[in-house]
């Protein structure tokens, strides 16, 4: 199958609106939901519940994800029913995967090694799908070192795996609130940055809107059009719960 999209990793604290923006940008996207209530506010704000697969606290997160990709998603991709997919959230699934791996191994070191192998294999399987893939992650707690203060990056269960996992994606962005505005910040750890072939001239910071990011991935150095504001009907008392 020929790829018809790109792969994007977005991380940030809960409540910024990553999930809402992703499902608003991809109106026909299917979801892989790993946290209870993740789509509640999205459904309230968009007036619809996205089609999705639930993988909430499965007994075997590794097998459950592979079976979902192989038996449920891949056939629908082949028929054109699924053209975009949103994983919400990668963090919840990875944490369950780590706990299961360590528990089954009976040894922390062996468990972490098994977890790393399973996480990489699963991400490779998911990102091999020839469609738009957006994965949403919580942000790891920031850490301070002798060299200064650093952002935590995507919380994927093990700090050692943050950059290897991020390097598999076409684009990596951090969702944040800067001066009261919700924005995407260019992370600089994705595959195109590492390979020195960054598409276009990606803005270091832009409003919380995926459309310019998608344009850069698809169009490269072509001039980017002006995007009209995206109207979103905000439900009363929707709050930030469920927005990832």
Q: Looking at the domain assignment, is residue 60 inside a domain?
A: yes
Q: Is position 16 within any domain? A: yes
**CA angle (1 as vertex; 135, 5 as ends), nearest 5:** 35
Report the pLDDT value the prediction gives residue 4, as an integer from 0 to 100.
Answer: 67
Whether 122 maps to a domain, the answer reads yes
Which tens digit of pLDDT belongs to each residue from 150-163?
A: 456 889 988 888 88
Tell me: pLDDT of 75 over 50. Answer: yes
More confident of the two residues 7 and 145: 7
Lowest mean pLDDT among 13-27, 53-67, 70-84, 218-232: 218-232
31 lies in some domain: yes
Q: The CATH number of the domain where 60 resides is what? A: 3.40.50.300
Residue 226 lies in a domain: no
Average pLDDT of the chain is 81
Into how many domains does the chain fold? 1
Residue 226 has pLDDT above 90, yes or no: no
Task: For residue 224, tell me if it sits in a domain.
Answer: no
The pLDDT, as a whole number, for residue 30 is: 96
Who wins on pLDDT, 187 or 16?
16
pLDDT band for 22, please (50, 70, 90 cuts): very high
Mean pLDDT for the stretch of residues 31-57 = 89
| Model confidence pLDDT, tens digit, residues 164-191 | 888 888 888 888 888 888 988 876 654 4
More confidently predicted of 29 and 218: 29
What mean pLDDT is predicted for residues 231-244?
47
Residue 41 or residue 177, greater confidence: 177
DSSP, collapsed to helix, strand or coil, labels residue 44 as helix
**Domain enclosing residue 67, as ranges:** 7-219
Distances (CA, A) of 166 to 51, 120, 228: 26, 11, 30
Task: Place 97 in a pLDDT band, splitting at 50, 70 and 90.
Answer: very high
Distance of alpha carbon 85 from alpha carbon 73, whole angstroms: 9
């Amino acid at each position: 199958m020929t790829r018809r999209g790109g792969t994007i990793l977005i991380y940030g604290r809960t409540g910024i609106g990553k999930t809402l923006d992703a499902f608003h940008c991809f109106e026909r996207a299917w979801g892989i939901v790993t946290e209870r209530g993740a789509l509640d506010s999205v459904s309230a704000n968009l007036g619809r519940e996205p089609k999705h697969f639930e993988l909430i606290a499965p007994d075997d997160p590794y097998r459950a994800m592979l079976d979902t990709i192989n038996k449920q998603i891949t056939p629908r991709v082949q028929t054109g029913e699924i053209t975009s997919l949103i994983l919400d959230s990668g963090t919840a699934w990875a944490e369950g995967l780590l706990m299961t791996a360590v528990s089954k191994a009976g040894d922390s070191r062996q468990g972490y090694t098994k977890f790393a192998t399973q996480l990489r294999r699963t991400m490779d399987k998911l990102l091999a799908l020839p469609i738009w893939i957006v994965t949403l992650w919580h942000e790891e707690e920031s850490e301070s070192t002798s060299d200064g203060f650093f952002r935590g990056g995507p919380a994927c269960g093990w700090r050692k795996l943050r950059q290897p996992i991020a390097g598999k994606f076409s684009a990596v962005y951090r969702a944040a609130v800067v001066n009261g505005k919700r924005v995407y910040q260019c992370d600089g750890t994705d595959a195109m940055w590492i390979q020195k072939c960054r598409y276009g001239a990606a803005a270091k910071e832009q409003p919380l809107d995926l459309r310019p990011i998608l344009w850069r991935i698809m169009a490269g150095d072509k001039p980017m059009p002006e995007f009209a504001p995206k109207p979103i009907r905000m439900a009363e008392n929707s709050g930030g719960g469920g927005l990832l």
